Amino acid sequence: MSQFRQAQNQAHPSKTNTLVLGIICILILILTMQIWLLTAALNTALEGDEGIKWPAFAASLALFLSGAALLRYLPDPMRKATKKPPLPPRI
């Protein structure tokens, strides 16, 4: 993983932006699937079918873990926050 992180930090900013955009699009897709799953599970549970709650929970947990795993591949910030020296007082 360290070689990946080192190569990622040395990559051109446009490649880094493409990587971030791809990860964000996949995370939006995962979030959309979780919202759809929640809606479908609630509709089914409100109709009286109690057998859907554990499979829906397992699927939602799998989606959450895949989204959390994707966050590892986000690049480090381009610039680290540095303190600027204070300006001299104006006379």
* Distance of alpha carbon 6 from alpha carbon 82, whole angstroms: 21
Q: Would residue 45 count as lying in a domain?
A: yes
Closest by alpha carbon to 53, among 34, 68, 40, 67? Answer: 40
Task: Extract the residue ranges of the chain whose pLDDT is less than 50.
Answer: none
Q: Would residue 59 count as lying in a domain?
A: yes
3-state SS assignment for residue 90: coil
Radius of gyration for the alpha carbons in the chain, expressed in angstroms and rounded = 22
Q: Would residue 20 count as lying in a domain?
A: no
* Distance of alpha carbon 91 from alpha carbon 87, whole angstroms: 12
Domain that holds residue 36: 31-74
CA angle 9-11-14, nearest 5°? 120
Domain count of the chain?
A: 1
Q: Would residue 83 count as lying in a domain?
A: no
Q: Would residue 82 count as lying in a domain?
A: no
Q: What is the pLDDT of residue 66?
A: 95
Q: Would residue 62 count as lying in a domain?
A: yes
Q: Would residue 52 count as lying in a domain?
A: yes
Q: What is the pLDDT of residue 86?
A: 73
Amino acid letter, 50: E
Q: What is the pLDDT of residue 87?
A: 72
CA angle 39-44-49, nearest 5°? 150
